[in-house]
Amino acid sequence: MCGIVGYTGKSSAAEFLLNGLEKLEYRGYDSAGIAVLHDKSFEISKTIERIETLFAQTSNGNNIKGSLGIGHTRWATHGAPSLENSHPHLSNDRKFAVVHNGIIENYSVLKQELIDDGFQFTSETDTEVIPMLLQKYYKGDIKAAVTATLKKLEGSFALGIICADSPETLIAAKRFSPLILGIGENCNLVASDVTALVSHTKNVIYLEDGETAFLTPASVEIYDSEGAMANKRISVIDWDISSAQKSGYDHFMMKEIMEQPDCVKKTLESYNKNGEITLGNIKLTEQKLKKINKIEIVACGSAYHAGAVGKYVLEELLRIPVNVELASEFRYRNPIIDSNTLTVVISQSGETADSLAALKEAKKMGSHILAVVNVVGSSIAKAADDVLYTRAGPEIAVATTKGYSTQLIVLYLLGIWAANILGTANKEQLKALNDELPLIPQKISKILSQKSLIQDIAQDFANAKSIFFIGRNIDYAVSLEASLKLKEISYIHSEAYAAGELKHGTISLIEDGTPVVALCGCKRLHDKTLSNIKEVGARGARVLACVADRDFNFKDDKIKTLNFPATNPLLIASLEVIPFQLLAYYVALQNGCDIDKPRNLAKSVTVE
């Protein structure tokens, strides 16, 4: 979704802004622009194409002089993608330039008031009211104008503001949309996402809701919502610059797929000290845990699919009912929740609007909130009672891979940790899981080392109109993810079905040659899934079955098989998903799709 960058320093602002916007491209956008202050006026460059067009338009930034500026990638909400609607937006007197993430809910009322005051609007955006309000309230004191303007705004925002009268001041304001300050040498920066900052600095300050920052190259002043000076801690990001670069891969997605053994290992190791699982100083004490009688898992997209696996694992280990639900449904359902409910919110970005809203809803009802999050300091991490971080590092490709894989690991660890305390699983079962977990990274590596096999299989799928994924139990949960991965990047229609449910309707869609992928990792349900394979086979389906080594012999030449290494039945998702990430990648590659930035999608969905 939208992205913000801002620079105040001694060097070229345009250079930082363009490079920063390039780092934010992965979030998804349909237009972009920068404004740099030079000789008391703004130089603007905008595009409705890719950031590379901005580079070209400005000769890599060299044509735009000045060392104070703001930039933006826009994902259209109010008004189509167009140059007029793209940010930065200017006040009528061209003294203020503004970039904005979020939605100003009362913009139409404000716009009418401003029109009545004589202001002229050139865009359809909600954002444009902000520079006009700044102009209206500006009487020579920028701070006063910003304060008066922010008071008028309802909704969510992260703002970057510059004023032609103040050649060194970069202003940042946050309410409900993420915004981070980068503390550099001879420069200070603003970005909506740390990936835009890591190449310049690792020292950051996370703004809180209601805070406003005034930055110059040498100073940082932050005020809280009451106008009092806020004392903020500088955090050091542990992501390095290489994590935001492709490092020789053609796409971030492939790089991130290949990083999974390492990320899974790091995640395991951060919660496993000398063979013992420890979740750190979490507030979910033994006493509290013992009172939990229900677990709600809420999330969106792939994080929801990780939760779907978590349901099977946690119910098996804890014997506590687990409900997994899409955050967008949960938040408007009036769920039955109290202080004995544990709500687990899963989110790679930690900024997904629906997941955050669901979290707040559950919290209001007294539930203990445990978040499984990748991005340190993100909104969901901050709003939760406890956070278990995944150690995936920055995930740039829109299609999540390592984010999902590390979420699974945290859910397993949570299950084993809680089962140990509650005594709900037998010691041998827990030991078997503990012994197997450290082997998962090398087993993932083994699958990855045979990726060319999957590249070959992808050829059979590239021309398909529709593909079905079927499975039972954890296989079904993985089918959901396999299907999403394929459709989001290859644009081929696909559906995931519980294998036993097919004959209740969907089987009517199976015709001669329809590809059906049967996930058969759950050994105890092999015979059941095999019956479903036979049902679709009898109707002409081309079946590809995914099975664990040594487990399954189809004795049927028509069924192609894809093997993954055998593992503990509760951990199969971690291995079974890998071939399907690769399959989606290679099908999309073959079909010439934009793998890292699939059409219409954004990496982090910060609107509901």
List the catalytic residues: 2, 603
Query: Considering the rule CB under 6 A, would residue 604 count as an interface residue with ligand M6R?
Result: yes
3-state secondary structure of 178: coil
How many residues are recorded in the chain? 608
CB 546 within 8 A of CB 575: no
To ligand M6R, the closest distance from the beta carbon of 487 in angstroms equals: 10
**What residue type is assigned to position 151 of the chain?**
K
125 binds ligand M6R (CB under 6 A): no
Contacts of residue 185, Cβ cutoff 8 Å, sequence gap at least 6: 201
Tokens of 77: 């909400």
Rounded Cα gap, residues 413 and 407, in angstroms: 10
Q: Would you count residue 494 as binding ligand M6R (CB under 6 A)?
A: no
Q: How far is the CB of 375 from ligand M6R (least distance, A)?
A: 8
Out of 58, 341, 352, 405, which residue is the one contacting ligand M6R (CB under 6 A)? 352
Structure token digits, residue 193 = 């996402």
Q: Which is nearer to ligand M6R, 47 or 355 (CB)?
A: 355
Q: Which is nearer to ligand M6R, 355 or 434 (CB)?
A: 355
Please give the residue whose beta carbon sits closest to ligand M6R in the complex: 301
Neighbouring C-beta atoms of residue 183, cutoff 10 Å: 18
**Residue 387 interacting with ligand M6R (CB under 6 A):** no
Rule CB under 6 A: say whether 170 interacts with ligand M6R.
no
Q: Does 347 bind ligand M6R (CB under 6 A)?
A: yes
Smaller CB distance to ligand M6R: residue 345 or 547? Answer: 345
Among 25, 126, 325, 488, binds ligand M6R (CB under 6 A): 488
Among 8, 156, 302, 367, binds ligand M6R (CB under 6 A): 302
Least Å from the CB of residue 348 to ligand M6R: 4
Residue ranges in 462-568 assigned as alpha helix (H): 474-490, 526-537
The footprint of ligand M6R on residues 262-301 (CB under 6 A) is 300-301
48 or 194: CB nearest ligand M6R: 194
CB of 322 vs ligand M6R, minimal distance in Å: 19
Indicate the residue among 67 and 405 with the shorter CB distance to ligand M6R. 405
- Binding to ligand M6R by residue 192, rule CB under 6 A? no
Tokens found for residue 140 = 């020579």
Cβ nearer to ligand M6R, comparing 104 with 519: 519
Nearer to ligand M6R, 200 or 402 (CB): 402
> Rounded distance, CA 443 to CA 446, Å?
5
Q: How far apart are CA 302 and CA 484, in angstroms?
A: 8
398 binds ligand M6R (CB under 6 A): yes
- Write the burial class of residue 336 (CB in 10 Å: 0-12 exposed, 13-18 middle, 19+ buried): exposed
Q: How far is CA 576 from CA 239, 260, 482, 518, in A?
A: 28, 13, 9, 11
In the window 63-122, what residues touch ligand M6R (CB under 6 A)? none
The pair of three-digit structure tokens given for residue 499, joined into one six-digit string: 């294998």
What is the DSSP secondary-structure string of 318-378?
A: H---EEEEEHHHHTTS-----TTEEEEEEESSS--HHHHHHHHHHHHTT-EEEEEESSTT-
Stretch that binds ligand M6R, among 150-158, 185-193, 205-213, 394-402 (CB under 6 A): 394-402
In the complex, the residues that contact ligand M6R under the rule CB under 6 A are: 300-303, 347-349, 352, 355, 398-400, 484, 488, 604-605
